[in-house]
């Protein structure tokens, strides 16, 4: 039995997997609000109860160094050795959350991916992965001549690059709000919806009807903006989603250029599947391919949206089994295929 975890800024998602005929077999999963617990160890013990697992891997937001990290959006410090000892699990691994997503790509089936742009699918090479959720994750799938090897990145924290007058003024607005530099994560993530909304309301003077202000104050603002924008029931919400998706596409294109991801771009994270209809309308692709003399390079890149919400868990489980097999000499995946 393998324990997989996706540790985010707002929730911890845990799942148990086994193997059937060489493929990961889902058993059960549970989500926990991170702020309600003192740390990951407490959540894992609650999830496992009296059950035991042979190995575990957790995808975590931030750079992992020697099996240890302090989380970016939670006051937790995690150490793989301490977790293994305290949880009585033989092998525990911590990897970057986008690295876990990257390993998950290889486990996905065709119905778990939606193709936004075909590009040239015959191209073989590096792939890029970008995932907007609570934060903005970015990763690299390096082609080594035989397979794609996921590599972590903290590219979502790179400097925001405005491309037009609206975005230049948005940058100025956010520099005042946050009193300093602005990263792409401030725009292309959950917080980006409300940041853009406040800019359009307070700087551009777009109308916020009383009924909308009430909903924004009493409900999840991101859900309200998304719902009203997709239903075309609010001018300001439509504009928010348009600016968000355009910035998302632009940064995805930046990542694709830096990685030279001729093998394609994958869009992960929780936001993408919720706005799939908007991602289809050309706004994302227009910004993605708008790269001057290198635009054709981007046009030729396939763009795919990951629909499977447990992709990072699949990747964490696959990583846990593979690394534990290297260390122990025993592979549950291989054994299940016999």
pLDDT digits (tens, 9 = 90+) for 88-101: 999 999 999 999 99
Q: Residue 328 — pLDDT band, cuts 50, 70, 90?
A: confident
Q: How far is CA 277 from CA 8, 75, 80, 128, 187, in A?
A: 25, 36, 40, 22, 20
Could you tell me the two tokens for 283? 């706004």
* Fold entry, domain 110-307: Hexokinase; domain 1 (3.40.367)
pLDDT digits (tens, 9 = 90+) for 266-292: 999 999 999 999 999 999 999 999 999
pLDDT digits (tens, 9 = 90+) for 154-212: 999 999 999 999 999 999 999 999 999 999 999 999 999 999 999 999 999 999 999 99
pTM of the model: 0.92
Q: Residue 10 — pLDDT band, cuts 50, 70, 90?
A: confident
Q: Provide the strand spans (E) within the chain.
A: 2-7, 11-20, 23-33, 55-60, 68-70, 77-79, 91-96, 113-117, 127-132, 136-143, 148-153, 265-268, 303-306
To which CATH superfamily is domain 2-104+310-336 assigned? ATPase, nucleotide binding domain (3.30.420.40)
For residues 93 and 68, give the distance between their C-alpha atoms in angstroms, rounded to a whole number.
Answer: 10
Q: Residue 244 — pLDDT band, cuts 50, 70, 90?
A: very high
pLDDT digits (tens, 9 = 90+) for 118-132: 999 999 999 999 999
The pLDDT assigned to 101 comes to: 94
Least confident of 17-21, 163-167, 270-274, 315-319: 17-21
The pLDDT assigned to 134 comes to: 86
Is 110-307 the same fold as 2-104+310-336? Answer: no
For residues 289 and 237, give the distance between their C-alpha atoms in angstroms, rounded to a whole number.
Answer: 25
Show me where the domains of the chain are located.
Answer: 2-104+310-336, 110-307
Average pLDDT across the chain, whole number: 94
For residues 146 and 321, give the distance between their C-alpha atoms in angstroms, rounded to a whole number.
Answer: 20
Closest CA to 132 of 246, 281, 258: 246
For residue 182, the SS3 value is: coil
The pLDDT assigned to 337 comes to: 74
Q: Residue 331 — pLDDT band, cuts 50, 70, 90?
A: confident
Helix-, strand-, coil-residue percentages of the chain, each rounded to 5: 45, 25, 30
């Amino acid at each position: 039995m393998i324990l997989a975890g996706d540790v985010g800024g707002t929730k911890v998602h845990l799942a148990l997997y086994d193997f059937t005929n060489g493929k990961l077999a889902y058993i059960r999963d549970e989500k926990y609000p991170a702020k309600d617990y003192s740390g990951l160890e407490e959540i894992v013990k609650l999830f496992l109860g009296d059950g035991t697992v042979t190995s575990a891997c957790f995808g975590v937001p931030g750079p992992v160094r020697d099996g240890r990290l302090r989380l970016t959006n939670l006051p937790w410090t995690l150490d793989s050795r301490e977790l293994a000892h305290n949880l009585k699990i033989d092998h525990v691994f911590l990897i970057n959350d986008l690295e876990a997503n990257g390993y998950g790509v290889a486990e996905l089936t065709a119905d778990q991916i939606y193709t936004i742009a075909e590009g040239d699918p015959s191209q073989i090479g590096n792939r890029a992965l970008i995932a907007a959720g609570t934060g903005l994750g970015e990763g690299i799938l390096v082609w080594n001549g035989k397979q794609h090897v996921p590599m972590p990145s903290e590219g979502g924290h790179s400097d925001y690059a405005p491309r037009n007058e609206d975005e230049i003024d948005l940058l100025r607005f956010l520099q005042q709000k946050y009193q300093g530099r602005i990263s792409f994560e401030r725009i292309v993530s959950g917080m980006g919806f409300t940041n853009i909304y406040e800019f359009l309301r307070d700087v551009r003077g777009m109308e916020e009807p009383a009924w909308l202000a009430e909903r924004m104050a009493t409900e999840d603002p991101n859900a309200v903006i998304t719902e009203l924008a997709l239903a075309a029931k609010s001018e300001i919400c439509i504009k928010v989603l348009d600016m968000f998706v355009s910035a998302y596409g632009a940064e995805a294109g930046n990542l694709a250029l830096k990685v030279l991801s001729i093998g394609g771009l994958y869009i992960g994270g929780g936001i993408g599947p919720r706005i799939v209809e908007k991602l289809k309308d050309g706004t994302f692709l227009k910004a993605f391919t708008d790269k001057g003399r290198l635009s054709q390079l981007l046009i030729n890149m396939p763009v795919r949206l990951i629909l499977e919400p447990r992709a990072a868990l699949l990747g964490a489980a696959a990583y846990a089994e593979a690394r534990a097999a290297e260390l122990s000499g025993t592979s549950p995946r291989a054994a299940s295929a016999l």
